[in-house]
Chains A and B, each alone.
Chain A
Amino acid sequence: MSGKGSDYTRRSFISTAATGLVSAGLVNFTPGKVFAQETETPEGTKEKKLIYRTIGRTGLKVPIVSMGVMNSNNPEIVQASYEEGIRHFDTAAYYQFGRNEQMVGSVINKLKVRDKVVIGTKNFIPQQRRGLTPEQSKTKLIEACEASLSRLGTDYVDIMYIHDVRDAETVADQGIIEGLKTLKQQGKVRSTGLATHAAMADVINAAVSGGFYDVVLTAINFTMADDAGLLEAIKNAAANGVGIVAMKALAGGARWPNPQSRRDYTSSTIATAALKWVLRNESISTSIPGYTNYEHMREDFSVAYNLEYTEQEKKLLSDNNIKLSMGYCRQCNKCLATCPDGVDVPTLMRVHMYAAQYANFKIARGTLDGIPARSSINVCRDCLECGAQCANTVDIARRIDELKAMYC
């Protein structure tokens, strides 16, 4: 069970199928739950203790706040994160064409702390694994993972994720599994994982039933509180020893999402409330918020000491307008069937998130370029009444308009 041996009193996470916005925000407001612990020093002062959790059956014990390195282009902030107490760094071969892995590796090697940190990286994006035989898949995956080891300057990674998994078929892909098994046997990969931000419940459930993968890195945030299927999948995974690491915890860059939230709440409140909402779920071992400056680093890491909501955070999570205005795309793919031109709307929504919220224009461009021409942005005809409908609250037409202004 995730969380065993953690440093604070735990109660089981109230997995709720609540669909109302208010209940979504108020999950885990239960009085009496303790989400922070203080110890008394010999001098009589009180010190807050860092909250650790174990990532499923991997046995890797890390603070509940880790670093998503993806958007960072500054080795000094990686170093500062280590010095702040962060011990888990999440990167990917695809980020910055490998530079991100090099940056993480160079800092960790410079600090000589390889044995003190957990490195998670991702490999084998869908475009790379498309159309391969199992044998080709195995060979190519091994090559790709070994390339990651070179860039990271390490002999092993703690968690090797398959990047961007969107279906149960990929989870069961025997070529990939055989490749990862080989890497595990060679000691190059210690734990295996899947990274998913589309059809997450299906992927998590497939990982649990398949029994091979140790960790799932999944998108999860407070705007998805009504996704009972996902919450149940997360709970079930944790119960079965599959570690859950949370990404998109800030709903795609919650610090700067829209005028509504900025008007009523500070960016700090938005970030810490969003992170706490995710991490109060004890089935989630840690989260990997991405940040690019010291202020955000400290804000995010403060949550690792204290999951108690402030009054402002409670107010924010209870605020229906916030969730509506966030417009977080869950990559549920339900909109795919609603566009008359067959535009790959979910991927375009990700492009929008990378560009408009992360300000990571390179990965936005790369993601956009990865969409086949037949379903990319130029296929969109600017229908006066955009037929594409979001099952949640995403304003698809407006975001595609903004993307067109940027890329067409």
Chain B
Amino acid sequence: MPNTVQKAMRAFGLIWLSILMSANPAVGDIPSVFWGGLEPGQYAVGFETIEKFDYSRTFRDKYDYDGNLRERQTARPIQLCVWYPAKANPTDRPMVYGEYAFPAPEDPRFYDLLSGLQAREANYLVPLLGSLNLLADMMNLRVGATKKAERAEGSFPLIIYHPDVNRAYCENAALCEYLASHGYIVATSHTFGTADLPVMVNAANLETMVRDRELVYGSMYQYPHVDMSRPAVVGCGMGGLSALLMQMRNTDIEAVVVLDGTQAHKDGIDLAATFPSFNVIGADVPLLQIYISAHENLDLSLTDSLLYSLRYLAGMPGFVSNDFTQYTITSSIVPDSMVTPALGSLSNYRTICELTRDFLEVHLLLKKEGLSAGLMPAAERKFELTILENETAPPTEAQFMEMIQADRIDRAVEIYEAFKKSRPGYVFFQEATLNAAGYGLLQANQLEEARMIFKINTEAFPNSANVWDSYADACIASGDTETAIMCYQRVLEVLPADSLIDPAVQEILLNNATQGLQDLQK
């Protein structure tokens, strides 16, 4: 992982460059309405879908209530939706929004699912637009991608997009197209519930959201022109939480963008905190969180807790939820009399897209040293930007043990001591794992190294009789009688309260310490 602290610090010393200045002239004919004035990159945009079934999970019942076998596919259907950099071709016909709302499948078994999802999207759009005829206009709106356009040459980083609950996968198609135009492959899939289309906000559906996107991620390994060495995740609403959780359990992912995240609200925080794979140590990559700073339920405590991540917190005053999705584009197709603040503004959406791209250029493409907005004088910014530097993350147990097994005991002790100071009481290894490592060293006759490891274990688990007993073994082997006596005395002190060992072992330890003290004190 790049040293994100250093990168962030350098960022403040550089001259701010406008991201608009760095944008390449358009090659493709990008529709101004759908992009809301965003500057296109050097590529045209292609779009395609790929249908797969996840046979590890069922979506439909195998039998009906009476036990009759149903003749239908039970596996979970996943339609990958991919935007990619393409070659511009004047004869290509750009898609219309309706083709996003219903991405016609090659596999007819997907028809019912996609029809239902299209209806869900239409049901969302009609009240937003205020009339049915505007929905027809919306469905006819020309977008920036061409279906199955010829791919551009090159190798492009992968972005996995996580849509919000009960929203279409294409809720941010304009952002996805914009990123593809600038040299990213963006992949996502539809969000629907574990066993039905609606998504209730709960842990089971959150896990489903993460797993769906993990399947997309895994499937992209075979995708042409993809550079899997530097993937990132972007999510909106609850999709932001899903994106963060996916990163926490995938160490390959290099950056996270959270748009209007559920994780900035109490309900989302409660859900995340109890989620089995929620792992603060895993969140050790740069994070951009863009949120409504005036939101009544704003709570940034979860983001604050991500100590090992370099966090860019961009608080948007006066923004509304639709500013975080391309639904704000609807404001440009409805008559002035029907435009309401709830529809959001195109300039706000543009800010979000540009900030996202800028962040990815810094942390994924490594094109720039710092976030452009971070280099602007605060007075010139239209939003509040806070940069929270990351602390160095502790090693995982596997990393720590790897160090010990590689005879880098001094380094292991150094790291342990550093974290003992910075985070007293925090332990990143299990007692038994380290104990076993200590005996391994003892058997190899690396007496001093064994003593160092056992000593660490006694510091980490001072109330464990067993670790004191082990440390005593190493001290005796190395001839340090004085320390060995102290260890046995500690065994006898902590043993009565050490409820984690069974009575038989307790008796052995008692006898061992008693006998040891007698022998050593002779």
Chain A residues in the interface with B (C-beta under 8 A): 73-76, 93-94, 96-99, 102-103, 105-106, 110, 125, 127-128, 130, 140, 143-144, 146-147, 149-151, 153, 362, 366, 369-370
Closest 8 CB pairs of A and B: A127-B133, A98-B98, A147-B140, A147-B96, A102-B104, A99-B102, A106-B104, A128-B133
Q: Which residues of A contact B140 (CB under 8 A)?
A: 93, 98, 143-144, 147
Most buried by B among A127, A150, A370: A150
Give the dominant DSSP class at B's interface. helix
| Complex CA distance for A155 and B95, rounded to whole angstroms | 13
* CB of B131 within 8 Å of the partner chain: yes
In contact, B132 and A74 (Cβ under 8 angstroms): no
Q: For chain B, which range describes its interface: under 10, 10 to 19, 20 to 34, or 35 or more residues?
A: 20 to 34
| Complex CA distance for A340 and B141, rounded to whole angstroms | 41
| Complex CA distance for A150 and B100, rounded to whole angstroms | 12
In contact, B133 and A370 (Cβ under 8 angstroms): yes
* CB of B80 within 8 Å of the partner chain: no
| Complex CA distance for A265 and B122, rounded to whole angstroms | 40
| Complex CA distance for A149 and B122, rounded to whole angstroms | 21
Select one of B95, B104, B119, B137 contacting A128, CB under 8 A. B137
Most buried by A among B111, B133, B136, B139: B136
Contacts of B100-147 to chain A: CB distance below 8 A: 101-102, 104, 106, 108, 111-112, 115, 118-119, 122, 126, 131-133, 135-137, 139-142, 147
| Complex CA distance for A216 and B174, rounded to whole angstroms | 39
| Complex CA distance for A124 and B424, rounded to whole angstroms | 70
Q: Which residues of B contact A125 (CB under 8 A)?
A: 133, 136
* CB of B93 within 8 Å of the partner chain: yes
Q: Which residues of B contact A140 (CB under 8 A)?
A: 137
Q: Which residues of B contact A103 (CB under 8 A)?
A: 104, 111
Q: Which residues of A contact B136 (CB under 8 A)?
A: 93-94, 97, 125, 127-128, 144
* CB of B29 within 8 Å of the partner chain: no
Contacts of B343-390 to chain A: CB distance below 8 A: none
| Complex CA distance for A106 and B105, rounded to whole angstroms | 9
Q: A143-B140, A143-B142 are in contact. Are A150 and B133 (CB under 8 A)?
A: no
Q: A99-B102, A370-B133 are in contact. Are A151 and B115 (CB under 8 A)?
A: no
* CB of B99 within 8 Å of the partner chain: yes
Select one of B93, B101, B112 contacting A150, CB under 8 A. B93
* CB of B94 within 8 Å of the partner chain: yes
Select one of B111, B122, B131, B137 contacting A75, CB under 8 A. B111
Q: How far is the CB of B327 from chain A (nearest CB, A)?
A: 16
Q: Which residues of A contact B101 (CB under 8 A)?
A: 97-98
Select one of B115, B135, B142 contacting A147, CB under 8 A. B142
In contact, B95 and A150 (Cβ under 8 angstroms): yes
Select one of B98, B104, B111 contacting A97, CB under 8 A. B98
Q: Which residues of A contact B147 (CB under 8 A)?
A: 153
Q: Which residues of A contact B96 (CB under 8 A)?
A: 98, 147, 150-151
Closest to B118 in A: A99
In contact, A147 and B98 (Cβ under 8 angstroms): yes
Q: Which residues of A contact B139 (CB under 8 A)?
A: 93, 97-98, 147
In contact, B142 and A366 (Cβ under 8 angstroms): no
Chain B residues in the interface with A (C-beta under 8 A): 93-96, 98-99, 101-102, 104, 106, 108, 111-112, 115, 118-119, 122, 126, 131-133, 135-137, 139-142, 147
| Complex CA distance for A125 and B132, rounded to whole angstroms | 10
In contact, B98 and A151 (Cβ under 8 angstroms): yes
Closest to B112 in A: A73
25 contacts between A and B (CB under 8 A): A73-B112, A75-B108, A76-B108, A96-B102, A96-B115, A97-B139, A98-B96, A98-B140, A99-B102, A99-B118, A102-B99, A102-B104, A103-B111, A110-B106, A125-B133, A127-B136, A128-B133, A130-B133, A143-B140, A147-B139, A147-B141, A147-B142, A151-B98, A153-B147, A369-B132
Closest to A130 in B: B133
Select one of A97, A127, A143 contacting B118, CB under 8 A. A97
| Complex CA distance for A99 and B97, rounded to whole angstroms | 11
Closest to B119 in A: A362
Q: Which residues of A contact B99 (CB under 8 A)?
A: 98, 102, 150-151
Closest to A131 in B: B335
In contact, B132 and A366 (Cβ under 8 angstroms): yes
Q: Which residues of A contact B135 (CB under 8 A)?
A: 97
Q: Which residues of A contact B104 (CB under 8 A)?
A: 99, 102-103, 105-106
Q: Which residues of B contact A149 (CB under 8 A)?
A: 93
Q: How far is the CB of B333 from chain A (nearest CB, A)?
A: 11
| Complex CA distance for A338 and B223, rounded to whole angstroms | 65
Q: How far is the CB of B294 from chain A (nearest CB, A)?
A: 34
| Complex CA distance for A98 and B125, rounded to whole angstroms | 14
Q: Which residues of A contact B94 (CB under 8 A)?
A: 150
In contact, A74 and B111 (Cβ under 8 angstroms): yes
Most buried by B among A110, A147, A149: A147
| Complex CA distance for A144 and B141, rounded to whole angstroms | 8
| Complex CA distance for A235 and B385, rounded to whole angstroms | 73
Q: How far is the CB of B149 from chain A (nearest CB, A)?
A: 13
Closest to A147 in B: B140
| Complex CA distance for A320 and B365, rounded to whole angstroms | 78
Closest to A109 in B: B104
| Complex CA distance for A74 and B140, rounded to whole angstroms | 22
Q: Which residues of B contact A151 (CB under 8 A)?
A: 96, 98-99
| Complex CA distance for A59 and B112, rounded to whole angstroms | 37
Closest to B122 in A: A97
Select one of B98, B106, B115 contacting A73, CB under 8 A. B115
Q: Which residues of B contact A127 (CB under 8 A)?
A: 131-133, 136
Q: How far is the CB of A342 from chain B (nearest CB, A)?
A: 20
Most buried by A among B95, B139, B140: B140
| Complex CA distance for A303 and B119, rounded to whole angstroms | 35
Q: A75-B111, A149-B93 are in contact. Are A98 and B142 (CB under 8 A)?
A: no
Q: How far is the CB of B221 from chain A (nearest CB, A)?
A: 28
| Complex CA distance for A94 and B98, rounded to whole angstroms | 11
Closest to B141 in A: A147
Q: Which residues of A contact B93 (CB under 8 A)?
A: 149-150
Q: How far is the CB of A102 from chain B (nearest CB, A)?
A: 4
Q: A74-B108, A147-B96 are in contact. Are A102 and B132 (CB under 8 A)?
A: no
Q: How far is the CB of B222 from chain A (nearest CB, A)?
A: 23
| Complex CA distance for A360 and B133, rounded to whole angstroms | 19
Q: Which residues of A contact B137 (CB under 8 A)?
A: 128, 140
Q: How far is the CB of A79 from chain B (nearest CB, A)?
A: 9
Q: Which residues of B contact A73 (CB under 8 A)?
A: 111-112, 115
| Complex CA distance for A96 and B139, rounded to whole angstroms | 11
Q: Which residues of A contact B119 (CB under 8 A)?
A: 362
| Complex CA distance for A106 and B102, rounded to whole angstroms | 12
Q: How far is the CB of A276 from chain B (nearest CB, A)?
A: 32
In contact, A369 and B126 (Cβ under 8 angstroms): yes
Q: Which residues of B contact A150 (CB under 8 A)?
A: 93-96, 99
Known: A96-B115, A99-B115, A144-B136. 16 other contacts (CB 8 A): A73-B115, A93-B136, A93-B140, A96-B102, A97-B122, A99-B102, A103-B111, A110-B106, A125-B133, A127-B132, A127-B133, A144-B140, A147-B96, A147-B141, A150-B99, A369-B132
| Complex CA distance for A369 and B127, rounded to whole angstroms | 11
Q: How far is the CB of A371 from chain B (nearest CB, A)?
A: 10
| Complex CA distance for A99 and B101, rounded to whole angstroms | 9
Q: How far is the CB of A284 from chain B (nearest CB, A)?
A: 29
In contact, B142 and A97 (Cβ under 8 angstroms): no
Closest to A367 in B: B132
Q: How far is the CB of A348 from chain B (nearest CB, A)?
A: 16
Q: Which residues of B contact A144 (CB under 8 A)?
A: 136, 140
